[in-house]
Amino acid sequence: MRLGVSLGLWQDRPAEEALLTARAADELGYDELWVGEMATYDAFALATAIGLSTGRIGLTVGPLAVAVRDPMMIAMGVASVAGLVGRPVNVAVGTSSPLVVEEWHGRSRARSAAVLRETVRALRPLLDGDKSDFSGECVKSRGYRLRLPAPRAELTVAAFGASAVRTAATADRMVLNLITPASAARLTADLRAAAREGTARTPAQAQGAALAQGQGQGAAPAPRVAAWVTAAVDPGREAVDRIRRAVVGYLAAPGYGEMFAEAGFGDVVAFARTRPHPRELLAAVPDGLLEAVALIGDVDAARERLRAYADAGVDEVALVPVGTDADPGGMATLKALRALAQ
């Protein structure tokens, strides 16, 4: 299994720790670094700073919220980073959360599935250097072409629901976040079924399909599947509690709650859906629930957990290292897990 790294952007840690994580990932030889955004740095600005302070690691910006950034903005941002840092830059998109879209940005999240689908269709030609000419029900762009060299970026879609999975089937890769291996297996199977049934393909997939048909091999492969997995090797209480705080917001959410219930924590989900005080909910979340969606423990435990994701059909895991006072930027965790990359 291929291992990459994703910045945790922990809101209760210093923002500049993202640069520590990035430099450690580069120096340790990880192939890819995902640069998202939360409440501190702009993703494109941070990716540029990282690219200028590292030597070789590949960059994927996002997932970016499609209700907040339009296709032209995304394409211009990717091309800007690629041009400034002098290396390939890929991009990921998703629908993000009601908190980020509706409350922080004051934007509508209505018809988010359609916006995601249309953004992917409008964005692909822009990334390839073509002039925009797309008019959907929710997304429009006409007459713009990058003035910078086209990044020809790989396009990834963040997915969890059925519609997003179908959209991911038309992209280069699907990324899952906060996922159990069992749920990852179902979503991966859904992705592959959608790819078999769909007709839309990226240029690389279309070329692969034509080559496969010419050689009598059937359809081209489906998009790859990546999973973001929070990681803390030999963690102290600070690291475990940080993961716990990150998980509680998902417990009552549709889909996620059912996933945790399936993993054996239906009582915690039921309690979360009564909307208790956050302190009470935190206290009710056992460490076992965290272990269902994270790498927590020693290196051997991490190896077994990664094997479970591989058996579920996940092609790549992006480690999200937990930063603590004892392990700023999660650098020790990244060093311990580097030997597991194949």
Give the pLDDT confidence score for residue 101 in this predicted structure: 82
Give the pLDDT confidence score for residue 342 in this predicted structure: 58
Tokens of 213: 């048909």
- Phi and psi at residue 140, to the nearest 5°: -140, 145
How far apart, in whole angstroms, are the C-alpha atoms of residue 70 and residue 90? 16
CB 78 within 8 A of CB 151: yes
- Residue 254: count other Cβ atoms within 10 Å of its Cβ: 8
How far apart, in whole angstroms, are the C-alpha atoms of residue 52 and residue 210? 39
Give the pLDDT confidence score for residue 70 in this predicted structure: 95
- Phi and psi at residue 136, to the nearest 5°: -100, -170
CB 179 within 8 A of CB 293: yes
Q: How far is CA 288 from CA 213, 231, 295, 320, 324, in A?
A: 47, 14, 11, 18, 21
How far apart, in whole angstroms, are the C-alpha atoms of residue 159 and residue 197? 18
CB 251 within 8 A of CB 19: no
Give the pLDDT confidence score for residue 220 in this predicted structure: 59
Give the pLDDT confidence score for residue 139 in this predicted structure: 94
Q: In the 3-class helix/strand/coil scheme, how is the chain assigned residue by residue?
A: CEEEEECCCCCCCCCCHHHHHHHHHHHHCCCEEEECCCCCCCHHHHHHHHHHHCCCCEEEEEEEECCCCCHHHHHHHHHHHHHHHCCCEEEEEECCCHHHHHHHCCCCCCCHHHHHHHHHHHHHHHHCCCCCEEECCCCEEECCCCCCCCCCCCEEEECCCHHHHHHHCCCCEEEEECCCHHHHHHHHHHHHHHHHHCCCCCHHHHHHHHHHHHCCCCCCCCCEEEEEEEEEECCCHHHHHHHHHHHHHHCCCCCHHHHHHHHHHHHHHHHHCCCCCHHHHHHHCCHHHHHCCEEEECHHHHHHHHHHHHHCCCCEEEEEECCCCCCHHHHHHHHHHHHHCC
Give the pLDDT confidence score for residue 96 in this predicted structure: 85
Tokens of 125: 């030609």
Rg (CA), the chain: 20
Q: How far is CA 336 from CA 123, 183, 251, 298, in A?
A: 38, 27, 30, 9
How far apart, in whole angstroms, are the C-alpha atoms of residue 61 and residue 207? 25
CB 227 within 8 A of CB 176: yes
Give the pLDDT confidence score for residue 50 in this predicted structure: 97
CB 194 within 8 A of CB 186: no
pLDDT string in tens for the chain (342-residue length): 799 999 999 988 999 999 999 999 999 999 999 999 989 999 999 999 999 999 999 999 999 999 999 999 999 999 999 999 999 999 999 998 888 888 888 888 889 999 999 999 999 999 999 999 999 999 999 999 999 999 999 999 999 999 999 999 999 999 999 999 999 999 999 999 999 987 444 444 455 444 444 444 455 578 999 999 999 999 999 999 999 999 998 999 989 999 999 999 999 999 999 999 999 999 999 999 999 999 999 999 999 999 999 999 999 999 999 999 999 999 999 999 998 875
- Phi and psi at residue 13, to the nearest 5°: -125, 160
Angle, nearest 10°, between helix axes 71-85 and 112-127?
40
